[in-house]
Chain A
Amino acid sequence: MQSKMANSSKEITKSRIAWVIAFIFATFWLLVALVPFVFMILNSFRKQFDMLQQGPLHLPDPWYFDNYPEIIQKGFFGYFGRSVLIVSISLVLMLIIASFAAYPLSRMKFRLRNFLYAGIIAMMSIPMHVTLIPIFKMTNWMGLYDNKYSLIGPYVAFALPMSVFILTGFMMTIPREVEEAAVIDGCNKYNMFFRIIWPLSKSGLSTLAIYNGVSMWNEFAFANTFLHTASQKTLPLALGQFKGEFSMNMPMILSVLVLSALPMIILFIVFQDKLVKGMMAGAVKG
């Protein structure tokens, strides 16, 4: 009895030490994650030359709030609005097409099923750079060069494989009985999808919307290749555009950074669990 107690108190000390070490590391990584954000926010409230004179870690003296109105005046919300437009159109199209495809793959038996499913999954790891030159050629040929709508096609196509994969897995979990009951009620395959399967897939669709929304919102390479004039550019390109205009004004650029990161951060704090779930869906099955 005695030795057992001594043993367990030793265990407790050991576990306490483990926790202390863990906390030190955790706090260290907290700082690593946080300091760049502090740097970004603090310095966005400074005048151009104050940053170099006062050093980046000094509190702004005086606090300077005019960077934000100025970038808004210079068309920040134009970029922002275009991104919202393109991402929403692409997302809606992508979710419709992906769930269309997932439905027969998950709930019908037909000859090419396994082949098509494997083919779509294989597309998940295609690097976009292999497709960039041909898609650029296609965009030119369609007369869509320097037109923001040229992004919709590639955004939808590149989000499809992973989304079809996850939705197929999701739809497979809908019990057969639901379908059988609907068949008895005279539901055909098309009605079945719109009345039964789609409504039941809502939570899968919303996680996919968040996950793909973030990556479309941040997409750079296609946008940078297809868009040329400022009035067509999306938010990820705004940074380069502003840098061209205010070349050395770091605080100004930092305020652009703050404004463009803010929506994602707010979205994350609101939909935290959804986003994490969306990533998990990819993680567990991927």
Chain B
Amino acid sequence: MQKPNQLARVESRNTAVAAAVFLIPAIALIIVYMIYPIIDTFLTSQYSWNGISTDKLFIGLDNWKTLLHDQYFWAAFKHNVIVMIFSILLQIPIGMLLATFLDAGGRRLNIFKIIWFLPYLMSSVAIAFLFTYILATNGGLFSTIATLLKGKRTAVDLLGKSPQALYAVIGVMAWQFTPFYMVYFIAGYSNIPTSLYEAAVIDGANRRQYLFKVAIPMLGPIFKTACTMSMIGSLKYFDMIWNMTQGGPAGGTELMATYMYKLSFQQWKMGYGSAVAAGMFILITAIALLFQKIFVVKEDF
């Protein structure tokens, strides 16, 4: 009776050792590059520090008090929220429409899928440069088309003025990310078992009834994930804006991330930059959790 018990204990200890050996590299990296930095950001946010000098002044919660009243930060947050709302309203419905079209059409529409997917393959930086030229008043696409339509030289200045600049950026983001959600919904459709379609057909449903009564309701969980991703993505958005407008004109496209980056790596206010980064982290986490709480989608069917 003693022996098997002991054997089991040895076995479970061996398992624990093996598990630790395999897990240590990943956990070490996550601690070094994610967990420790988050803690350090909160700690640094209590200092006034330029990032280089040893002259690091402890100022407690002063940075946080400044942050609460920082109109630039809250304007940036407002822009993030606008970007978030329009991202969800544009990218997800269009992505879903495209996926529905591809799902109904089958493999012969593959060429549509390839071309629709292309924008997602460009890096955000490349897209930023490309669209700076496309939206330019001089030699840009929109200005050229407007000139052709009106028959006289017309400059469509989309990036130079607020609030158009923000909406122009939102349009570019829709161009970039719609393909991502398209693939998401293609995955969703392909996960619906074919037996369900067959059952619906046997019950006398046509394609449209199947789509609206069976397929789309089953996409619920995918829909929620897509919204969550789009939300988090737009709240931490950075690359393209940084390369396209740097937050300009006059802060019109400033987002939390670009503001934080400017403070930390252009003005070298790393203490306050850390407070902004930490504030951004808190806001993103709070919004994401709130969303998860509010929209509970039934996972079963």
Contacts and interface: CB of A to CB of B under 8 A. Distances in A.
A, B from the same assembly? yes
A33 B175 contact: yes
Nearest to B221: A284
A82 interface: no
A283 B123 contact: no
Interface stretch (A34-42, A64-72, A172-180): A34-42
A131 B208 contact: no
Contact of B265 (A43, A101, A225, A284): A225
B124 interface: yes
A133 B44 contact: yes
Interface string B176-191: 0001100110111011
B19 interface: yes
Residue with the greatest number of chain B CB neighbours at <10 A, chosen from A18, A109, A280: A280
B280 interface: yes
B14 interface: yes
Contacts of A97: 25-26, 29
Interface residues of B, number: 92
B222 to A, nearest CB: 7
B94 A101 contact: no
Interface string B16-59: 10110111011101101111111011001000000100000000
A280 to B, nearest CB: 4
Interface in B155-202: 175, 179-180, 183-184, 186-188, 190-191
B230 interface: no
A180 to B, nearest CB: 14
B236 A129 contact: yes
Interface in A121-176: 123, 125-138, 153-154, 156-158, 160-161, 164
A38 to B, nearest CB: 10
Interface stretch (B62-70, B71-79, B81-89, B134-142): B134-142
Interface in A192-237: 193, 214, 217-218, 220-221, 224-225, 236-237
Contact of B15 (A29, A32, A110): A110
Contacts of A250: 133, 139
A229 B190 CA distance: 47
B129 A264 contact: no
B19 A104 contact: yes
Contacts of A132: 37, 260-261, 264, 277
Q: Which 5 interchain pairs have the tightest Cβ spacing?
A: A157-B33, A218-B123, A280-B187, A131-B37, A134-B37
Interface of A: 11, 14-15, 18, 22, 25-26, 29-30, 32-37, 39-40, 43, 51-52, 55-57, 97-98, 100-101, 103-105, 108-111, 113, 116, 120, 123, 125-138, 153-154, 156-158, 160-161, 164, 189-190, 193, 214, 217-218, 220-221, 224-225, 236-237, 239-240, 243, 250, 253-254, 257, 260-261, 264-265, 268-269, 272, 276, 279-280, 283-284, 286
11 contacts: A40-B130, A104-B19, A123-B35, A131-B41, A134-B44, A221-B242, A236-B123, A240-B125, A261-B126, A279-B183, A280-B186
